[in-house]
Amino acid sequence: MKNLTLDQFTKDTASDSPVPGGGSIAAVCGALSASLTSMVANLTIGKKNYVEVENEMIIIAEKAEGIRQKMLDYIETDCDAFNAVLDAFKLPKETDEEKSNRTEAIQDALKKAASVPFEIATAAYEIMDLAEHVVLKGNSNAVTDGIISAMTARTAVLAALLNVKINLGTIKDEAFVEDLRKRVSELENDSINAEKKILDLISF
């Protein structure tokens, strides 16, 4: 799916197919955010006015590129997780054994469907620290790109966490739900605060 043209990907998203859906779009936002941070870093590397931060920018560009690639893979992974839930619901339920197996398969699939977008959100949040660095130290001509990277990362985090929340509502493992719900709340707050911090760095 990551190799589709932008035109085809958006057409597939706009179709009546449930995938790619919100989780995949969150991953796309994360990939775009990482790309922008990498761009600012690369626009800083090799510039005589930024020699002192060149090594730092090289590291940031490499980290951002790694996250970009990871996010592109998550587009497919999220679709697979959702399809696994649909497949579990299609399992036979005639006998007691079939019903038990079906219920277990559904619950396992729902846990995966909640865990994958949480991984997307966590990876997207990692971009925000990188974005802050390029905003503070990177090529000033591209400062708005760094800010937009942070804004897009926050969107990726919050969008992915919405997909976590909707799946938690149907998971019966209370300990799993309680733990993940707590981590979701913390990550939401952290991403919102991180974005505000970065936005406050620059005034126009």
Smallest CA-to-CA distance from 43 within 58, 64, 33 is with: 58
d(CA 29, CA 6): 13
- At 78 the pLDDT is 95
Q: In sequence order, which residues have a C-beta less than 8 Å from that of residue 120 and are 6 or more positions away? A: 23, 26, 27, 30, 71, 74, 78, 156, 160
- At 204 the pLDDT is 77
- At 203 the pLDDT is 82
- At 202 the pLDDT is 87
CATH 1.20.120.680 fits 18-199, yes or no: yes
Cβ proximity of 42 and 61 under 8 Å: yes
Q: What string of pLDDT tens digits covers the 204 residues of the chain?
A: 899 999 999 999 999 999 999 999 999 999 999 999 999 999 999 999 999 999 999 999 999 999 999 999 999 999 999 999 999 999 999 999 999 999 999 999 999 999 999 999 999 999 999 999 999 999 999 999 999 999 999 999 999 999 999 999 999 999 999 999 999 999 999 999 999 999 999 887
Cβ proximity of 46 and 59 under 8 Å: no
d(CA 49, CA 200): 24
d(CA 24, CA 16): 15
pTM score, whole prediction: 0.95
